[in-house]
Amino acid sequence: MADTARIDKWLWAARVYKTRSLAANACKNGRVTIEGVNVKPSHMIKRGEVISVKKPPITYSYMVLDCIEQRVGAKLLPDVYKNVTDPKQYELLEMSRISGFVDRARGTGRPTKKERRALDSFVDPAMFGWDDDENWDDDE
């Protein structure tokens, strides 16, 4: 057991991020903090420190129990960190799931089948007086 570990390696080894490069990018982009201070990927962590990781829409908090740099099995994670995330954060996550709002950026592609059906039901052709049975010739 080591006394210290690099934060990017620890985040990867503790399975907070899927790859080490994702963990390093999160550190570089200010999504990982220790006591409210942004940290670089090379920052050395110690046992007992609380690491905050922003993964929208919530911020997870982990207390370091063991400084590891090699990935361990999922069953061994309770020995590596303790999840000390505020319960209000989980309520926020649940509220965002219930709201059903999908955060789609403009221009991200065609609507899904469900979204298209919602649009079709919203824009009913009869609303505008369009009817397929009518004859559109004004001469008759």
- Structural domains present in the chain: 4-85 (3.10.290.10)
For the chain, list the strands marked E by DSSP.
4-6, 32-34, 37-38, 44-46, 50-55, 58-64, 81-83
Check pLDDT > 60 for residue 131.
no
Q: Are 64 and 8 in contact (CB under 8 A)?
A: no
Kindly report the pTM of this predicted structure: 0.67
Q: How confident is the model at residue 94 (pLDDT cuts 50, 70, 90)?
A: confident
Q: Are 7 and 27 in contact (CB under 8 A)?
A: yes
Residue carrying the six token digits 């570089």: 28
Q: How confident is the model at residue 108 (pLDDT cuts 50, 70, 90)?
A: confident
What confidence tens digit (pLDDT) does each residue in 25-74 have? 999 999 999 988 999 999 999 999 999 999 888 899 999 999 999 998 98
Chain Cα centroid distance, residue 22: 12
